Structure 1
Amino acid sequence: MATEKKFIETSLEEIKIKDYLQKEHAKAGVSDIIIQKTPVTTRILLVVKKPGLIVGKKGAGIQNTIETLKKKFHVENPQIEVTETENPVLNPKLQAEKIARQIEIKGKVKPTLNLALKEIIDAGAIGVEIRAAGKVVGKGAKAKTITVRQGHLKKSGEELKKVKTGHAEANMAAGIIGVKVSIIPPKTKFLDEQIKKIEQGENNGDNTQKPTQRNDQGSTSKQT
């Protein structure tokens, strides 16, 4: 029971730290936060769109964050590493944040979703689904969900793990609109597709015709 309580406390602590880092460095475009604890240190990896906004001049930004983690969250010996997101357009977390901010500014939900959908597909994604849920029409209207999708997207099974997802919220006068972006990255391989290719190859092999030879009388016969 004590172990379970300790696990819950640790999980809640990590959620608070991630929430702080997400909000504190929102302008840097945080796509992922990985926390690893060892007996002597706490390693924190920040995957962001603009690393320079976190690092700061001569590392001052990172040092300020480290001091806050020590004082506010009592993190022992925190070490922060910052790395750049490989492709921001194909990152579901960054896309969800971008869509949410655009909805807050423009107030137009479906056009914003469609623009993001086109951008992600043009970047090479195999499949994309974007959902916005809440009072998407305006104040006084009932909550509803708007969904746009394109391409191939897995909905269930083991292959669902290959779908990358990201969430964000748009704070509107009528209430919060939740945004969820699901992306299947380029070059993703699915087991059922690989099996299908193997089966097609085997069938093609069974149906191949044997070569023919022409005899002296001008007739043809199949080789055996």
Structure 2
Amino acid sequence: MAVEKKFLKKALSDYNVKKFLFKELDRAGVSSIELQKTPIATRIAITVRRPGVVVGKRGKSIKDLCDALERDFKIENPQIEVIEVQNAALDPKMVAEKIGRRVETKPQFKPAIRIALREIMEAGAMGAEIRAAGKIVGKGGKAKVLTVRQGLLKKSGDSMKLVRVGTYIARMSAGAVGITVRIVPPGTVFHDTKVKKGKAAAIAAAEVAAAAVAEAVATVPPVEIPAAFVAEPVKEETAKPEKKKRVSKKKAETAAVEGAGEGAEDVLDAESGEENADEGK
């Protein structure tokens, strides 16, 4: 029984620390907080959208947080590590908070949810679901549930552990509205997905080779060729076809008659030459 109380006390202490940090760092956009206790120190990893708010000017804010944790929660030597969110569109906590902040200023749930869902899918997510529950219509209206989903999303079994979940409570004038965002990150392989080992290895090898080729091409500098080695293009001369002269019909007939007459004169000259030769004999 003493061991159980020890674990319960530790869990309650961690919960109180996380609650305190979420409240203190509300403007920084906290995504997640992880506590890891070691014999030397207590490591606290905080994933936020704006790390500058946590660190503060010359590290004053983070030093005040460490002093408060050591004074109020009896944490020995707390070491806070600040991690910036790489892609806010794939972080469900950030997306839920963004929707909540937007509807608190301008209570229009459908456009805000649809815009957020489009941003999630454009970021490369395999699937997503956004659910808003509460008095969405406004004062005097009944509580409703608005759900918008797209892509592949698991709702049961061990595959649910691969789905990221984030929540936020929007404080509206008509009442509180709970916003829940579920996102399946890109490249997630579920347990019930059947993929052949050879095919999966070939796909992975092809992706690695394509990435290596792209990186190699990007690092190669462009080669400049000197102007002396650049050959000038040779222009090919094409022979112009000869134009045929047009001859009228009358000119053609006269040319034919003249040619025939010249031929007859040549024959007569040849015959007269033969007769003169016979007489001489």
> If each structure's helix is expressed as a fraction of its own residues, which one has the higher value?
2
Distance 1:100 1:122 in 2: 21
Query: Which residue does 2:94 correspond to in 1?
Result: 94
Give 2:73's aligned residue: 73
Amino acid corresponding to residue 13 of structure 2 in structure 1:
E
Letter in 2 for 1:198: K
**How many residues end up aligned between the 2 structures?**
198
Partner of 2:8: 8
Aligned to 1:20: 20
Question: Which letter maps to 2:120?
Answer: I
Length-normalised TM-score, structure 1: 0.83
1:73 Cα deviation from its structure 2 partner: 2.0
Quote the offset at 1:41 in angstroms: 2.1
**Number of the residue aligned with 2:181:** 181
Aligned to 2:264: none
Task: Report 1:154-165 matches (<5 A).
Answer: 154-165=154-165
Give 2:146's aligned residue.
Answer: 146
**Structure 1 residue 48 corresponds to structure 2 residue 48:** yes
Deviation of residue 129 (structure 1)?
0.1
What does residue 216 of structure 1 align with?
none
Counterpart check, 1:136 vs 2:136: yes
Structure 2 CA distance for aligned equivalents of residues 19 and 173 of structure 1 = 25
What pairs with 1:31-42 in structure 2 (closer than 5 Å)? 31-42=31-42
**Matches of 1:52 and 1:187, distance apart in 2:** 31
Q: By how many angstroms is 1:144 displaced? A: 1.8
Structure 1 unpaired stretches of 5+: 202-224
State the match for 1:198 in structure 2.
196
> What is residue 116 of structure 2 aligned with on the other side?
116
C-alpha distance in 2 between matches for 1:119 and 1:12: 36
Give, in angstroms, the shift of residue 188 of structure 1: 1.3
Q: Which residue of 2 aligns with 1:221?
A: none
Output the amino acid matched with 2:2: A
Query: Which structure has more RCO (C-alpha within 8 Å, separation ≥ 6)?
Result: 1
Deviation per residue, 1:123-159 (Å, 9 max, x gap)? 1111000001111111232222110011111111121
Letter in 1 for 2:196: I
Report the Cα offset of residue 87 of structure 1: 1.0
State how far apart, in whole Å, the 2-side matches of 1:122 and 1:154 are.
Answer: 20
- Once residues 99 and 89 of structure 2 are traced to their aligned partners in structure 1, the CA distance between those partners, rounded to angstroms, is 12
| Separation (CA, whole Å) in 2 of partners of 1:35 and 1:21 | 12
CA displacement at 1:115 relative to structure 2: 0.9
Question: 1:26 is paired with a residue of what secondary structure?
Answer: coil
Q: Which has the larger radius of gyration?
A: 2
Amino acid at match of 2:141: A
Which one has the bigger strand percentage? 1
Deviation at 1:72, TM superposition (A): 2.2
